[in-house]
Amino acid sequence: MAYIILASSSPRRRELLQQLGLNFDIHSPDIDESFLEQESVKQYVERLACTKAEVVFQQYPDSIVIAADTTVAVDHHILGKPESKQHAFEMWQLMSGRKHNVFTGVCVHTKQEKLSIVVCTEVEFQTLSLNDMESYWDTGEPIGKAGGYAIQGIAARYISKILGSYTNVVGLPLHETAQLLQTVKALN
């Protein structure tokens, strides 16, 4: 049986994948994550997940590589990780009092197969006051998070509803990832 590699340095993805009871190593690739012109958000996260998987698979061709990429989108506009406090506030103002989507592309790559899927979860934020945004920024939690928030952390207090996979919003849709792994193990 090939060993499993998670192609991500995300502590959240590591913790989620551990919930499946798997033993795995971590090797995070360095890839260009630029958004391509005319690319949909769905195409973007799937391309990045597959590129990460391919880069790591080339280094470890006898392995099962799992890669993922998560992005937050409002009206088909990607909201990346906040570059500054002002940037975070701009993103939160876009999400305040409305719904947005969290997309995660997942790719599982083996010698025999390369399978991918994109999972979308709808998240609804309450209306955020300036005080809410100031308080949340001061926690430090938004830094390094797509959309500037962590649903599994303090930001949960601002989320009124989700429709879809909770683990997708955290960074790795577990049900769908387990299904991909079952498929590739059946093929190997």
Question: Does 33 score more than 80 pLDDT?
Answer: yes
CB 78 within 8 A of CB 41: yes
Task: Give, as one character, the DSSP assignment of residue 146.
Answer: G
Count of CB atoms situated within 10 Å of the CB of 86: 9
pTM of this structure: 0.92
Question: Among residues 69, 75, 132, 138, which one is catalytic?
Answer: 69
- Per cent of the chain over pLDDT 70 is 97
Q: Are 163 and 144 in contact (CB under 8 A)?
A: no
**What residue numbers bound the domain in which 125 lies?**
4-187
> How high is the pLDDT of residue 9?
87
Question: In CATH, what number is assigned to the domain containing residue 56?
Answer: 3.90.950.10
Please confirm, yes or no, whether 75 is among the known catalytic residues. Answer: no
Q: For residue 34, with 0-12 CB atoms within 10 Å meaning exposed, 13-18 middle and 19 or more buried, which class applies?
A: exposed
pLDDT, tens only, 146-161: 899 999 999 999 999 9
- The band of 2, judged by pLDDT with boundaries at 50, 70 and 90, is low
User: pLDDT band at residue 185, thresholds of 50, 70 and 90?
Assistant: confident
Model confidence band, residue 80 (pLDDT cutoffs 50, 70, 90): confident
Q: Per residue in 60-73, pLDDT tens?
A: 999 999 999 999 99
* Domains of the chain: total: 1
Q: What is the mean pLDDT of residues 9-19?
A: 92
| Beta bridge partners of residue 119, listed in sequence order | 104
